[in-house]
Structure 1
């Protein structure tokens, strides 16, 4: 009988860590994810003991006689774009890695639903079939379309965290961990009372942010505030008044659109940020997007997400049975200098 080759899942189980941790250690990106030296040592020791051999060393990649044609499907229009646009770095990463991998790209724009959201299926037909596989991105992903693509075994990678059907391949950001570290620093700066302003639509990225926030407060034994989930049109100055009256000294916001309204209300109320209220945004804020100032924010690794998505898709196409992680959350960075102040 042939001995089964050890997998990353075996290493994770034996070492008592997550498979994503094993992947980062073995791929040499552990320091970016702030994985401790002790954990890295334990993972590498376990890999040696289990005689782990990467899939790339076990088999040669499938030969290609011509460049792969990769589709790019966006659920909402993203062009034309500028360097300050949220999608710009995703698209730049996709293009950069496609050039590196020797692939061509095709942008799908035809199928449109009455809601204005682009659908993958039109008249029952998969509109992505012209491409060998596709990259999907956008806030308004149709989960039925994703589940159907998965059931049909069409190769695709979603850029963003989405849990659908039996599991789809995705490259997302680790918002939960980054948000938790932001809370750690806020508490370290003396903040003990918080307010949380989130979006009405609660997809995995929004849920990850909220859970990272709530879990971090729980570690410190601090009260977890009732989150306020709303659209920008529904945000009122009364909510801000109540948050300040409750003693909140730090306000965490999920989106730029909510921040824009909040900043205007704070100005009307005469609140000075960060002297009277520290504010952190859990997404990138392009310069000049909300006033002239910079904002303390979580930084989404958009360029790297685009690159990694292309690499994962080409792996699915050329080595579909290979042992590599198909659901990846990349580390996020953050900066708190601009609109966060200490509390005595």
Structure 2
């Protein structure tokens, strides 16, 4: 007997969602529609159980001829717990690969003298066993990315990265827009004087955050402070004293390591957060400082991993198609906990 084919309505019923939600998840627009990662996961699980494939889509072809997708990390990042920064990226990759009917292989290599796991060794591409690969890591080797692009090897970077002379494919977070929205909300609370603590090493995600911050202040015709891009060990209470003397009431911070030093300095000066000073962390990493949650920018990690897999499989099945290969997904933010109106 011919096996019946599952439909979107079957998936919607099994996942307990509307058919339009199933459609958005399966065609890759769920993130733009603000459908939560949990709901998307339920839809993908139901689609996998029911062996659903969109009618006439290239993903249906991918299920009959499964691709082997590589995962390469430029530095050791595999998580040891669900609280790890990279956990949701990797879980999203695994979930979407299963939904696409693809297999995954992890590529590892001994780091070089700079601590970077290089892709090319003895003039050979270590990723060549896979049909295409997903690349992750804070500090990518730009020469390796440029060479992959030159040789035409299909890959997608999970995170915003640019390579001079090569238009590489990536799926990142729209940190610029969200950082600007954070400034908008702080200005609405009454803040007019800001300070900015940034990481010493400036890749595209850090640059995007600063650009969004400075651009928002310029829109309000507010002074743009001189940023501090430094290692945590370079910060002193003298910097905080100068910021406070300049009237600063809100500080945006790019990393947890910088936040730890700032929190210690605030404590030394006997100040309270957010009573005396509002602080927003521009990454939603695990923070165990004080007794209140920190206001944060929230990265769509799971969605970025899943969208990267969808983009890569599309590149493999339709290499010359007309579709976006550089994608920034919307982020969220929360000012709960450590952000409030400025002191009188």
With the length of structure 2 as denominator, give the TM-score of the two structures: 0.82
Does 2:214 align with 1:214?
A: yes
Residues 1:287 and 1:223: Cα distance change in structure 2 (over 3 Å)? closer
Cα offset, 1:30, TM superposition: 4.6
Q: Which residue of 2 aligns with 1:309?
A: 308
Q: Matched residues in 2 for 1:182 and 1:120: separation?
A: 37
Distance in 2, matches of 1:232 and 1:75, equals 23
User: Which residue number in structure 1 is paired with residue 329 of structure 2?
Assistant: 330
- Aligned partners of 1:213 and 1:224: how far apart in 2? 9
Q: Name 1:250's counterpart in structure 2.
A: 250
User: 1:107: which partner in 2?
Assistant: 106
**For residue 180 of structure 2, what is the aligned residue in structure 1?**
180
Q: Say which is worse superposed, 306-315 or 77-86, in terms of deviation.
A: 77-86
1:270 and 2:270 equivalent?
yes
RMSD of equivalent CA atoms: 2.1
Deviation digits for residues 240-272 of structure 1 (CA, Å, limit 9, x no counterpart): 111111110000001111111111111122111
**Cα shift readout 1:269-302 (whole Å, capped 9, x = no counterpart):** 21111101000011113253x3443100000000
Do residues 69 (structure 1) and 68 (structure 2) align? yes
Is the contact between residue 183 and residue 213 of structure 2 (CA under 8 Å) also seen in structure 1? Answer: yes
List per-residue Cα deviations over 1:135-159 (Å, max 9, x = no partner).
0011010111000000000000001
Change (3 A) 1:123 1:192: same
CA distance in 1, matches of 2:298, 2:31: 17
Aligned length: 297
Q: Distance in 2 between matches of 1:146 and 1:275?
A: 46
Name the structure 2 match of 1:7.
none
Task: Return closer, same or farther for 1:127/1:184 CA change in 2, 3 Å cut-off.
Answer: same
Whole-angstrom distance in 2 between the partners of 1:58 and 1:31: 23
Q: What is the aligned partner in structure 1 of residue 123 from structure 2?
A: 124
**How does 1:88-167 map onto structure 2 within 5 Å?**
88-164=87-163, 165-167=165-167
What's 2:9 paired with? none
> How far apart are the structure 1 equivalents of 2:150 and 2:322?
21
Alpha carbons of structure 1 residues 262 and 324: separation in structure 2 relative to 1, 3 Å: same
Kept in 2, the 8 Å contact 1:72–1:136? The answer is yes
- Structure 2: stretches of 5+ with no match in the other structure: 1-26, 36-53
Counterpart in 1 of 2:338? 339
Question: What is the TM-score with the length of structure 1 in the denominator?
Answer: 0.82
Secondary structure of the residue that 2:302 maps to in structure 1? helix
Tell me if structure 2 keeps the 8 A contact 1:171–1:327.
Answer: yes
